């Protein structure tokens, strides 16, 4: 029978018949799908051109919407709708407060609709807004109730790993998982309370600059809000997040407008959530900058309005860090809302009813009882009205009351309150909406849902306030009089939502999660693909590294200046007023600009080029003012003098000379931006070095000097006139690094600086030195000698005073100090070996580029990294590759000139590991540039990255099961991998992206350039052609019981602190013994700052100390002190000396 069946299949007629059946089946499936779509969409509804985020799996009902061609791809970033669809100059002028644009005509109504007369039976809302408001605002008496704490809401003792849940989602194929099990339905068998939360998300800079957005949108929105509160209803709720824009409006508003808003904020009607200066990115900022962001925002809010933020709304960052809920918990935040997490993970959590949970910091070292944060995840991809209910986003758009460009279908007219639909239509609309509400309620364990009513840059038309207020109040009354729907509506804020959740959670046990939500991924349907693919937003970890470096540089200088100013205040006395000559507004400006640029469209580099340039301009202005302020503070310290002169004449001109970025060990390149000093004959130059770390620091400093003539002899002495061993290094031309400079050299010498202290060193050109400064020798292949100077001017084995030594033609060579040994390839200058003590690793270092040819799906862009497979290693041209080694008594340096990168490795006698500086410049090249360090470590699938320079996170490699892009994570300060005996750690002075695609391997993305864009909202690529200096330190150490997992060893922590908080240098100043008591080795003073900077008005010095076990990466505060900062309870703040005594 089987043979006969096979013969039948081979028959020509049978083959034709089978093909026809297959085609017919396919046509039938398409017809059924189209019919189901049409049955669940109103034929009268015309979809507008608003691009919204929609995922196929988020419509469990067979009512998936039709899309215009422009809507087929769903950019989860482009909820930015019509505000950004036209050029700025083509838009209408902002409306005056309360002004309504003239109507072109009545809006089209659905079939059967018609305007009806206004009467009480139809439930119309009177213009004074009083009807039903007492019932709506019944929650005012519990506005400050304690919510979401572990006494009222229970959670499981078992801690679930977010990473493991994500793995389950991928392994189970959640993309195809149906959510029918927890759908709503038409039976409406439980009462669901809906908190409708009016809000607007106004980025302080994204597609346009902050000033443009403020003038056209934000200021108009606040004016409309105040107008509505004062003329219609003073209890209209509204939610706002960022203090930076609120302060700007508040300072320029009239006294009456400020009074109206202030009353609403104090009453809790207008709720300021989160309270930070800006809504930060959660991948790139360090702990210091995140705390500073909260301090500035919370202090101003408390001083101005007398309230403390209690809830957090973090709707737009591209992934969420576990550091944020920990910090928010310490400053009084009770519960938080997040949004952008992996799409498949969100589907699984929605299916399992785990979109609300207690979020635990992934380290027992910092957790105290009650530290877990109650967290709510929005169930869909966006925070707009169109996704405020169930999965039928088209239906929800009917209630998006944002004239004039959006198409919606109101129940009542926002101008007159007139009912616009007949009874049959009203019942149908109410039933459909109730169905979507009940569907959303099934995503959570309780019967309360949060529905955001707003989007980006909303309420700039006064009619939107009226439309929201009148229509939702009418529907509230309608559902109250029709109990069969079991729906209760109320306009409210996060406080209302979480209070209701607390009341409804008495018998509910919530899960406890640990970990973070990186990387963020969205499902992106493409017309040419049979199934959607995942877009991983991991490119922005590295996008525009120059802006990340610049912001870190500002952070470093701000922290140093804050400490200097605090020491100044302590020495003058806390009771003194502002110091004459100090422009405190400059310090305030630096604080505000730094924290503003932590915003998730600034530090991420995910804005158009002209907005990025605006960010840089503000950063430059603030940095210049901060530098002058720092010099002024230094000169006014009682322990610093400018008049005392040692033997010989003294140049007392004052300036900051050491680069205060994390790049103390700069490239030996004659960069004009790097400041130099002049040391004349028979003159001395005084250099004062400041260490801002609370531990003694031993390091090597590098000072650029304008040399008198080749071979000039230098001498370095400390303040006690004892000579210091030093070394003269060559500097190479910036444009052509193979050419040696003739008029400038670099002076390198070892320093030992006291904790949070200063030391003065004297540089002179004395010839009677007993130790002297040795000129370093230059070793390189003899055939490349002629590259060292223009024209090949080499005399007697020297070039400009530097001895030349031919290097043996071996494949590799070694350089050693007392602590470390490195092996270097003679061909390309890359690292081949690293040894510290008895710990030794063979290493292979390569550079490579990802591009679309590596199997990428979709387009590379500011947000998205599309690589599916490993990148291509860059091959060096041996004729253009230059490698040389500079050796002396202080340090060894290896410089290699490679395609896209000039790499410099430094090895000295006082620090562990090898410093690696990389000057990256891609020119016009396109791709994602990376460096990869491979070793023989048997590290398995695990590696570890830091979270905002705070804790270490265990990561799991998923390559090749998932694409390369899915394996990238944020690198803020450190990454390591290990086996049973050795650990390899890479410390970073800047935020980038990192992966480990193979066992024993660390891969760091260095830069990105591309002509494409990823439809994340910014319609341009990145071709900045910037040169960026990146700084790392690579260390190897044994794995011992003292090095727990996951954490860094104490030695590595101290080196990370030195890399993150480098020494500052000043000329023309001399410091007497300024040496504060050292804190224990496992303490770190994160900040020492004053709160007396205008406009905050507090006058106290705050010191943050951290006690941590020796094996932790960092620990930064006691809850007691941190709470004092944010609540401004200044009476409980201890002075610096008191804290040290208690330690």
Report the distance separating Cα 863 and Cα 1016, nearest Å.
7
Tokens of 152: 């009222």
Give the pLDDT band (50/70/90) at residue 371.
confident
Residue 313 has pLDDT above 50, yes or no: yes
Place of tokens 């962001």: 293
Report the distance separating Cα 342 and Cα 517, nearest Å.
7
Mean pLDDT of the chain: 77
User: Which of 234-243, 567-576, 876-885 shows the lowest per-residue confidence on average (mean pLDDT)?
Assistant: 567-576
Of 62, 61, 58, 78, nearest to 70 by C-alpha is: 78
Tokens of 369: 């009882």
What's residue 506's pLDDT?
86
Considering 186-190, 668-672, 1048-1052, the range whose residues carry the highest mean pLDDT is 1048-1052
Residue 1143 CB neighbour total at 10 angstroms: 12
Residue 393, SS3?
helix
What's residue 1009's pLDDT?
94
What's residue 286's pLDDT?
96
What number of residues does the chain have? Answer: 1143
User: Which of 1-15, 871-885, 1068-1082 shows the lowest per-residue confidence on average (mean pLDDT)?
Assistant: 1-15
What's residue 1123's pLDDT?
29
Three-state SS string over 963-992 comes to: CHHHHCEEECCEEEEECCCEEEEEEECCCE
What's residue 913's pLDDT?
96
Give the pLDDT band (50/70/90) at residue 634.
confident
Report the distance separating Cα 916 and Cα 905, nearest Å.
5
Give the pLDDT band (50/70/90) at residue 582.
low
What's residue 121's pLDDT?
30
Residue 319 has pLDDT above 60, yes or no: yes
pLDDT in tens, 894-949: 999 899 999 999 999 999 999 999 999 998 999 999 999 999 999 999 999 999 99
Give the pLDDT band (50/70/90) at residue 350.
very high
Residue 8 has pLDDT above 90, yes or no: no
847: left (phi over 0), alpha (psi -120 to 50) or beta: beta
Residue 672 has pLDDT above 70, yes or no: no
Q: Strand 777-780 and strand 802-806: pairing?
A: parallel
Higher pLDDT residue, 649 or 746?
746
Residue 1038 has pLDDT above 60, yes or no: yes
pLDDT in tens, 963-997: 999 999 999 999 999 999 999 999 999 999 999 99
What's residue 1115's pLDDT?
33
Q: Are 883 and 805 in contact (CB under 8 A)?
A: no
103 CB-near residues (< 8 Å, 6+ apart): none
pLDDT, average across residues 29-49? 38
Of 389, 385, 392, nearest to 458 by C-alpha is: 385
pLDDT, average across residues 283-310? 92
What whole-number percentage of the chain has pLDDT above 70? 71
- The counts of H helices and E strands in the chain are 21, 50
pLDDT in tens, 714-755: 889 988 888 999 999 988 776 666 667 667 888 999 999 999
Q: Are 953 and 994 in contact (CB under 8 A)?
A: no
pLDDT in tens, 437-479: 999 999 999 999 999 999 999 999 999 999 999 999 999 999 9
Residue 29 has pLDDT above 80, yes or no: no
pLDDT, average across residues 1088-1111? 42
Establish whether the linkage from the previous residue to 519 is cis, with ω within 30° of 0.
yes
| H/E run at residue 685 | strand 683-691
pLDDT in tens, 194-222: 999 999 999 999 999 999 999 999 999 99
Higher pLDDT residue, 103 or 713?
713
pLDDT, average across residues 381-402? 91
Report the distance separating Cα 430 and Cα 428, nearest Å.
5
User: Which of 151-165, 355-369, 1068-1082 shows the lowest per-residue confidence on average (mean pLDDT)?
Assistant: 1068-1082
pLDDT, average across residues 223-232? 96
Report the distance separating Cα 567 and Cα 561, nearest Å.
10
Place of tokens 């319609």: 1019
Higher pLDDT residue, 633 or 339?
339
Of 733, 753, 762, 893, nearest to 829 by C-alpha is: 893
374: left (phi over 0), alpha (psi -120 to 50) or beta: beta
Higher pLDDT residue, 1114 or 630?
630
3-state helix, strand, coil split of the chain in percent (to 5) is 30, 25, 45
Residue 1082 has pLDDT above 90, yes or no: no
Integer angstrom CA distances of residue 1052 from 616, 763, 1035: 32, 32, 8
12 CB-near residues (< 8 Å, 6+ apart): none
What's residue 832's pLDDT?
96
Residue 1122 has pLDDT above 60, yes or no: no
Residue 122 has pLDDT above 50, yes or no: no
What's residue 465's pLDDT?
94
Residue 1108 has pLDDT above 70, yes or no: no
What's residue 330's pLDDT?
84
User: Which of 369-378, 552-561, 775-784 shows the lowest per-residue confidence on average (mean pLDDT)?
Assistant: 775-784
Give the pLDDT band (50/70/90) at residue 765.
confident
What whole-number percentage of the chain has pLDDT above 90? 48
Q: Strand 757-764 and strand 715-718: pairing?
A: antiparallel
pLDDT in tens, 509-549: 999 999 999 999 998 765 555 555 789 999 999 999 999 99
Residue 23 has pLDDT above 80, yes or no: no
């Amino acid at each position: 029978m089987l043979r006969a069946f096979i013969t039948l299949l081979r028959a020509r007629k049978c083959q034709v018949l089978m093909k026809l059946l297959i085609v017919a089946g396919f046509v039938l499936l398409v017809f059924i799908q189209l019919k189901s779509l049409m049955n669940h969409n109103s034929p009268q509804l015309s979809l507008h051109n608003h691009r919204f985020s929609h995922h196929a799996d988020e419509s469990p009902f067979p009512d998936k919407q039709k899309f215009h061609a422009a809507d087929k791809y769903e950019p989860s970033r482009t909820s930015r709708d019509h505000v950004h669809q036209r050029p700025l100059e083509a838009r209408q002028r902002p409306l005056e407060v309360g002004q309504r644009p003239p109507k072109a005509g009545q809006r089209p109504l659905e079939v059967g609709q018609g305007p009806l007369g206004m009467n009480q039976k139809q439930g119309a809302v009177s213009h004074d807004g009083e009807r039903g408001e007492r019932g709506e605002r019944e929650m005012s008496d519990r506005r400050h109730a304690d919510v979401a704490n572990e006494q009222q809401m229970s959670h499981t003792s078992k801690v679930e790993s977010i990473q493991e849940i994500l793995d389950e989602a991928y392994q189970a194929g959640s993309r195809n998982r149906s959510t029918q099990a927890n759908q709503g339905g038409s039976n409406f068998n439980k009462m669901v309370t809906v908190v409708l939360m009016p809000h607007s998300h106004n980025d302080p800079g994204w597609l346009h600059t902050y000033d443009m957005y403020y003038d056209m949108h934000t200021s108009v929105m606040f004016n409309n809000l105040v107008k509505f509160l004062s003329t219609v209803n003073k209890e209209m709720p509204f939610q706002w997040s960022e203090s930076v824009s609120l302060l700007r409006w508040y300072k320029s508003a009239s006294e009456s407008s400020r009074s109206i808003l202030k009353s609403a904020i104090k009453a809790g009607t207008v709720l300021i959530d989160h309270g930070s200066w800006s809504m930060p990115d959660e991948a790139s900022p360090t702990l210091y900058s995140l705390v500073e962001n909260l301090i500035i925002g919370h202090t101003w809010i408390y001083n101005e309005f007398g309230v403390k933020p209690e809830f957090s709304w973090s709707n737009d960052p591209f992934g969420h860090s576990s550091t944020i809920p920990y910090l928010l918990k310490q400053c009084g935040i009770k519960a938080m809302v997040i949004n952008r997490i992996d799409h498949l993970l969100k589907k699984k959590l929605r299916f399992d009813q785990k979109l609300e949970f207690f979020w635990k910091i992934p380290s027992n070292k910092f957790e105290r009882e009650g530290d877990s944060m109650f967290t709510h995840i929005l169930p869909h991809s966006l925070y707009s009205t169109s996704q405020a209910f169930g999965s039928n986003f088209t239906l929800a758009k009917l209630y998006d009351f944002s004239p004039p460009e959006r198409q919606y279908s109101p129940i009542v007219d926002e101008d007159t309150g007139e009912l616009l639909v007949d009874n049959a239509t009203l019942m149908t609309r109410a039933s459909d909406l109730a169905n979507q509400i009940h569907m959303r309620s099934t995503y959570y364990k309780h019967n309360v849902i949060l529905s955001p009513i707003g989007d980006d840059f909303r309420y700039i038309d006064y009619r939107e306030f009226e439309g929201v207020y009148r229509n939702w109040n009418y529907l509230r009354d309608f559902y109250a009089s029709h109990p069969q729907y079991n729906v209760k509506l109320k306009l409210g804020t996060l406080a209302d939502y979480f209070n209701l959740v607390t009341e409804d959670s008495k018998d509910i046990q919530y899960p406890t999660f640990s970990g973070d939500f990186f990387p963020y991924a969205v499902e992106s349907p493409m017309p040419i693909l049979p199934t959607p693919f995942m877009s991983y937003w991991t490119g922005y970890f590295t996008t525009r590294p120059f802006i990340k470096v610049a912001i870190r540089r500002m952070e470093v200088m701000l922290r140093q200046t804050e400490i200097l100013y605090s020491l100044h205040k302590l020495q003058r006395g806390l009771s003194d007023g502002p110091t004459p000559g100090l422009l405190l507004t400059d310090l305030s400006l630096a604080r505000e600009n730094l924290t503003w640029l932590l915003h998730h469209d600034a530090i991420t580099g995910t804005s158009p080029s002209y907005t990025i340039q605006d960010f840089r301009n503000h950063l430059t202005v603030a940095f210049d003012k901060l530098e002058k302020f720092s010099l002024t503070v230094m000169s006014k310290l009682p322990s610093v003098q400018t008049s005392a002169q040692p033997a010989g004449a003294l140049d007392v001109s004052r300036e900051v000379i050491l680069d205060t970025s994390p790049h103390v060990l700069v490239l030996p390149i004659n960069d004009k931006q790097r400041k130099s000093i002049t040391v004349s004959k028979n003159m001395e130059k005084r250099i004062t070095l400041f260490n801002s770390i609370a531990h003694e620091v031993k390091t090597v400093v590098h000072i650029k000097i304008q040399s008198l003539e080749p071979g000039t002899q230098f001498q370095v002495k400390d303040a006690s006139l004892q000579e210091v061993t030093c070394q003269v290094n060559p500097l190479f031309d910036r444009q052509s690094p193979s050419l040696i400079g003739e008029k400038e050299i670099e002076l390198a010498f070892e320093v030992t600086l006291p904790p949070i202290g200063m030391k003065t060193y004297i540089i002179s050109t004395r010839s009677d030195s007993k130790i002297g400064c040795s000129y370093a020798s230059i070793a390189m292949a003899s055939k490349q000698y002629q590259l060292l100077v223009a024209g090949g001017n080499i005399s007697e084995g020297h070039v400009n005073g530097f001895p030349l030594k031919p290097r043996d033609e071996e494949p590799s060579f070694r350089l050693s100090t007392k602590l470390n040994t490195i092996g270097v390839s003679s061909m390309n200058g890359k690292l081949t070996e690293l040894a510290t003590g008895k710990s030794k690793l063979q290493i292979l270092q390569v550079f490579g580029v990802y591009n679309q040819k590596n199997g990428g799906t979709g387009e590379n862009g500011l947000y998205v990294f599309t690589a599916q497979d490993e990148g291509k290693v860059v091959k060096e041209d041996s004729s253009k590759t230059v490698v040389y080694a500079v050796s002396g008594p202080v340090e060894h340096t290896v410089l290699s000139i490679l395609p896209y990168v000039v790499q410099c490795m430094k090895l000295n006698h006082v620090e562990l590991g090898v410093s690696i500086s990389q000057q990256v410049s891609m020119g016009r090249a396109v791709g994602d540039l990376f460096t990869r360090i491979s070793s023989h470590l048997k590290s398995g699938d695990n590696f570890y990255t830091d979270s905002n320079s705070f804790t270490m996170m265990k990561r799991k490699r998923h390559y090749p099961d998932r694409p390369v892009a899915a394996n990238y994570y944020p690198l803020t300060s450190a990454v390591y991998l290990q086996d049973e005996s050795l650990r390899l750690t890479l410390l970073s002075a800047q935020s980038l992206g990192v992966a480990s695609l193979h066992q024993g391997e660390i891969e760091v993305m260095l830069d990105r350039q591309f002509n494409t864009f990823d439809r994340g909202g910014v319609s341009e690529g990145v071709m900045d052609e910037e040169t960026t200096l990146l700084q790392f330190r690579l260390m190897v150490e044994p794995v011992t019981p003292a090095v727990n997992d996951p954490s860094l060893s104490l030695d590595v922590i101290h080196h990370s602190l030195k890399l993150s908080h480098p020494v500052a240098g000043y000329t023309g100043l001399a410091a007497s013994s300024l040496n504060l008591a050292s804190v224990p080795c496992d303490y770190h003073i994160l900040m020492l700052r004053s709160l007396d900077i205008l406009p905050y008005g507090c006058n106290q010095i705050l010191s943050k100390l951290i006690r941590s076990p020796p094996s932790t990466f960092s620990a930064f505060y006691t809850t007691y002190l941190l709470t004092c900062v944010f609540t401004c309870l200044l009476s409980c703040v201890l002075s610096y000396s008191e804290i040290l005594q208690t330690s």
